Amino acid sequence: MFDMKLKHIAAVATLALFLPVAVSALTAEEITAQIRTLLAQVALLKEQLNLVQPKPPTPAVNRICPQILRQLSQGTRGDDVASLQAYLGVDQTGYFGPLTASAVMKFQSDEGISRVGTVGPQTRAAFARRCGNLKQDFSVTPTSGSVPLTVAFQMPGGTGVDGGYSVDFGDGTGTGAMTCGEVPYPKLCRLTHVYTVSGTYHAQLMEPRGIGDVVTWQKLGKQVTITVGGSTTGHPVPCPAYVPPTACPAGQHHVATGPVTYDSQGCYVPAPQKCVPDTNGTFSAAPTSGSAPLAVSFSGTVNSAGYSIDFGDGTSSGDVRCGHGGCPTSPSSSSVATAHTYNSAGTYVAKLRQHFSMNAGNCAGVDCNVVGTATITVGNPISNGAVYGIAIVTSGNCMPSTNGSSCGTTPAAYKTVYVHQRTTLGASPSANPTTPLVAQTQTDAYGAYRVSVPPGNYSIFIDDAGRKVCAFGDGNANACPVTVGQVAVEYNINNNTHAVY
């Protein structure tokens, strides 16, 4: 085919050489028309020739993964900004401007994370995943043995805005969310779990994925199989199957009256149970209905050394024990206070369980130690907007006469941000609002936060030693007001209640 095209071009050129011979027999107009026809044929043949000729290969783009260890936003300068621009294909000026922000938002959109145009922990984690810097070092030792079998789990550090992983032990229990380190250089964290019943279990490392408050847990890596047998000395017959106790009458629940034991053959013997009235504590939830994602606050009391909450959607708070950040100093009366977000429509029954023994096996396989229940009804999602920004704390002497010598700012790291219905504070710079709480979230190590809320008018508060504070009001005495539509709105928080002006 290619040779055929060359022959056609040669024929046209040869015909053009013989044109002068017949010039005397043709008029000028006829010669001009023939030339135009020949030129058109030559152009057509050139186009056909381009189609069959091989094109040179396009050189591959060699991108170097950026090493970013801080928050980057518009106005930031530095070598890390230049490396970010090189990776994103933006001019390497070292200055984070609108073009760089636009390229970051496109990257965030490709990665399925919030398009905020700034580089925080979630975006750094996306770079780490794309570049292969995020190790998935999930290992288990040992993977087999006799009951009770203590297994050590090792996994890498967190990836999300809140960091963290969750380990599903495969026996109906798990760790809940936990943080092991910052990316892109995760620290390894380790924990142990005791399998008290013979059987085969499939442990799975879980990773949080999502935008803002809408977070789902996805499997990370392969499952690890753990085989748990009988005692080390063995036993002549298999251990009997576990038989749960008879259900308690309405208004009562099971409690453990003794410890978990093992018989002479090494078989697991569950703790003895008895039924007691549902008056050993309190349990409540608010709100109990709303559209997904629905943030629900749980509160109550238990007369035990610890507790756990089954949220009814396949997740739980995990075991909360005194001395581990969730219980008061007195084990005889523990206060319950936690929050959970339901991301899907449905009806959920949350259960508060109290623990009378440090051995979680007391409740293995049975619905025991239930203090109370709460029914949560979640409707279909509505088109929410969101509020995001950076929270800082200003402190020191910021008087002009001192040239601000002791005035400074630090990130408001790991602080709770509260979104209330629009609140009026008058001249007061801080208060504990009485208006309804709509949503809450926590800042990360850099003070960054993001929370989804329905469209409306709100006031933003931040936790300060147990108080909800707001640094200013508008001309109508509204506290830290923000209006949210169906898009994300930026609202930066400055807690300057510790500064002198």
Of all helices (H) and strands (E), which one includes residue 383? none
Cβ atoms 181, 170 nearer than 8 A: no
Side-chain-side CA neighbours of 125 within 13 Å: the count stands at: 23
pLDDT for 183 = 35
- Cα–Cα distance between 357 and 355 in angstroms, integer? 5
pLDDT for 102 = 92
Side-chain-side CA neighbours of 25 within 13 Å: the count stands at: 5
pLDDT band, residue 269 (cuts 50/70/90): confident
Query: pLDDT per residue over 465-474, tens digit each?
Result: 888 888 777 8
Q: Mean pLDDT across the stretch 36-58?
A: 65
Cβ atoms 356, 304 nearer than 8 A: yes
More confident of the two residues 67 and 137: 67
- Cα–Cα distance between 253 and 280 in angstroms, integer? 10
Q: Is the pLDDT of residue 414 over 80?
A: yes
Kindly report the CATH class assigned to 385-500. Answer: mainly beta
323 by Cβ neighbours in 10 Å (0-12 / 13-18 / 19+) ranks as exposed
pLDDT for 432 = 73
pLDDT for 449 = 92
Q: Mean pLDDT across the stretch 314-330?
A: 58
Domain boundaries of the chain, sorted by first residue: 2-52, 79-131, 139-229, 252-379, 385-500
Fold of 139-229: Immunoglobulin-like (2.60.40)
pLDDT band, residue 49 (cuts 50/70/90): low
Q: Is the pLDDT of residue 211 over 80?
A: no
Token pair of 78, please? 């530095």
pLDDT band, residue 429 (cuts 50/70/90): very low
pLDDT for 264 = 62
- Strand, coil or helix: what is 498? strand
Q: Is the pLDDT of residue 298 over 50?
A: yes
pLDDT for 54 = 54
Average predicted confidence (pLDDT) for the chain: 74
pLDDT for 5 = 46
pLDDT for 176 = 66
DSSP bridge partners of 377? 289, 347
CA distances from 84 to 72, 127, 486 (A): 10, 10, 30
Question: Between the ranges 77-91, 211-225, 354-368, where is the mean pLDDT highest?
Answer: 77-91
Q: Is the pLDDT of residue 268 over 80?
A: no
- Cα–Cα distance between 143 and 57 in angstroms, integer? 51
Kindly report the CATH class assigned to 252-379. Answer: mainly beta
Other CB atoms within 10 A of residue 228 CB: 22
Question: Between the ranges 101-105, 137-141, 279-283, 385-389, where is the mean pLDDT highest?
Answer: 101-105
pLDDT for 23 = 45
pLDDT for 120 = 84
pLDDT band, residue 224 (cuts 50/70/90): confident
* Best CA proximity match to 395, nearest among 496, 264, 267, 286: 496
CA 425-430-432 angle, to 5 degrees, is 80
Helices (H) and strands (E) counted in the chain, each on its own, are 5, 30
Other CB atoms within 10 A of residue 497 CB: 17
pLDDT for 45 = 73
Contacts of 340 (CB under 8 A, 6+ apart): 295, 296, 298, 309, 311, 315, 317, 350
Least confident of 130-144, 274-288, 318-332: 318-332
pLDDT band, residue 245 (cuts 50/70/90): confident
Would you say the CATH fold of 385-500 matches that of 139-229? yes
pLDDT for 307 = 79
pLDDT for 304 = 64
Contacts of 397 (CB under 8 A, 6+ apart): 404, 405, 406, 407, 499, 500
Question: Can you say whether residue 396 is alpha, beta or left, with left for phi > 0 and alpha for psi between -120 and 50 degrees?
Answer: left
Other CB atoms within 10 A of residue 53 CB: 9
Percent of the chain with pLDDT over 70: 67
pLDDT for 488 = 79
Token pair of 458, please? 């709100």
Q: Mean pLDDT across the stretch 270-289?
A: 77
Q: Mean pLDDT across the stretch 279-298?
A: 82
Query: pLDDT per residue over 212-221, tens digit each?
Result: 444 566 676 6
Burial 416-426 (b: 16+ CB within 10 A, else e): bbbbbebbebe
pLDDT band, residue 299 (cuts 50/70/90): confident
- Cα–Cα distance between 49 and 72 in angstroms, integer? 51
